[in-house]
Amino acid sequence: MKTTKFFFMAALALMTAACNKDDDLIQQPAEQPAPADEITITTTIGSKDDAATRATVDNGYGGLYSRWAVGEEIAILFKINGDDSKRIAKVKEVTSYDAAVIEFTIPASGVEENAPANLVYPASAANDANTGRKTNAEILSAQDGTLNDALDVRINSGTIQVATPGFTSTYGNFQKQFGIVKFTLNDVAGNTITASQLVIEDKSGITYTITPASPTSEMYVYMGSSGNVKWFTATVGDKPYIAVSDGNPNGYYCKSTVRMATIGNVIATNCRFYSNVAAANEASTTARAMIAYLGTAPAGGTGDATCSHGLAIALENLTNNSNKWLSWDKSGSNNGNKTAIELCNDLNGPGVNLNFWTYGFRWRLPSVDDWKYMIAGCGGGPYTAELSQGMSYVSLISDSSRTHLRPRVYDAGGEGLGNDWFWTSESAGQDAFEAYAWYYDFNEMKFEVTRQSTNRYIRPCLAF
């Protein structure tokens, strides 16, 4: 019988009694004696949870506690005739103080006295090389948001005694490998949201994909302690949501509420998301951009729209020398001998906004594809890689719900896009007389070409 080992302490006695009753109904298979060429080792190992871990739970009320169960398997990894090998130890008994009596066999020959051994629980978490546990990515990549024995990985080490069969553990308790975080999902306004999938990425490159059996607002996630910066992306109905954090579970159980943003919400200078400009102001920070697209934009298409998580449009036009009417090239009197691309790039750097720099947010002059993704992300478009002079790309039709890019920016508290013209980052070549560049016309809802020396507005976008 598989015994669920995670439970709230308030229900411990009841669940233990229920399991004992069930055990009486199951006929255990008769145990077979070890072969003559094998040595049986029986030893006692410490409890799963050490004192430090117990101290982090809520005194048993609402906290998590893990204990051994009869029949559980632990991989014993050691060398036989110099080769890395594995034997399986089974829990035969659980003592009143939550220690476990385990039993395993070793060959009668080929194992050195006091041979070093690694112990991995559960046995399925041992790597194929028989040298230790599997990697975080191998164990944690796919989860369902529930407490799962297979992810409760713990390790120990020790030495095997052969002459007088026995085992000496290095640590009194098994060492917990992953923290467990109970995530509660809210939107930026604090309202509960239920997600059909949650994806967490950390700076070390580990991605955790949690897919619950049905949409839920609470998920248990097993996480390693490496990689501080974490991105959260979720699917809520048919809408994408996103959040960013720098917290670590540090190997213990903790609870965290994640406030997730979606298209139309704003990003502030503190690298946090808010409902709109007013909400950011109330939090004593300054909103800088509005999320217009969530998802991965691959390289290719027309121009560089590459992003890992999404694109946000600046809440106001770029100003240089107190003027917003700027040329694409350096020729404009208001440009300060810089191109439109350079003016946008100057918005980046740790000295400009350390939070954006740390979390990987980067400003740029929107490419044609950037504009397409942002317009399509707000209900326009749909996205197409095609581009031609005078090409129609719808950014607003009949929009009583005010979900398209123009009304969203205004309703978020930003400077309106109106019927104005905005530069893209892309050159359109040149002839014998002039160099040209692409811009987007919100009045005609078209991509057009004009001279690079002509003045247009610059509305930077923020890739993240």
Q: Give the per-residue pLDDT at 48.
A: 77
* Residue that has been written with the tokens 């029949």 in this structure: 71
pLDDT at 97: 85
pLDDT in tens, 353-409: 998 998 889 999 999 999 999 999 998 878 887 888 777 787 765 556 677 899 999
Angle at 80 between CA 75 and CA 81, to 5 degrees: 165
Confidence at residue 96, expressed as pLDDT on a 0 to 100 scale: 87
Q: State the Cα–Cα distance between residues 388 and 291, nearest whole angstrom.
A: 27
Percentage, residues of the chain above pLDDT 70? 84
State residue 49's pLDDT score: 63
SS3 string of 260-316? EECCCCEEECCCCEECCHHHHHHCCCCEEEEEEEECCECCCCCCCCCECCEEEEECC
**Architecture (CATH level 2) of domain 179-262:** Sandwich (2.60)
Q: Where in the chain is the domain with CATH 2.60.40.1120?
A: 179-262
Q: What pLDDT shows up at residue 36?
A: 64
pLDDT at 249: 63
Ranges of the chain whose pLDDT falls below 50: 1-28, 50-61
Residues 155 and 440: their CA atoms lie apart, in Å, by 59
Q: Is 10 exposed, middle or buried (0-12, 13-18, 19+ CB in 10 A)?
A: exposed
pLDDT at 163: 95
Give the tens place of pLDDT for each residue, 262-291. 999 999 999 999 999 999 999 999 999 999
Residue-level pLDDT at 230: 81
What pLDDT is attached to residue 59?
Answer: 33
Are 286 and 294 a contacting pair, CB within 8 Å?
Answer: no
* pLDDT score at 64: 74
Please state, as a whole number, how many other Cβ atoms lie within 10 Å of the Cβ of residue 450. 18
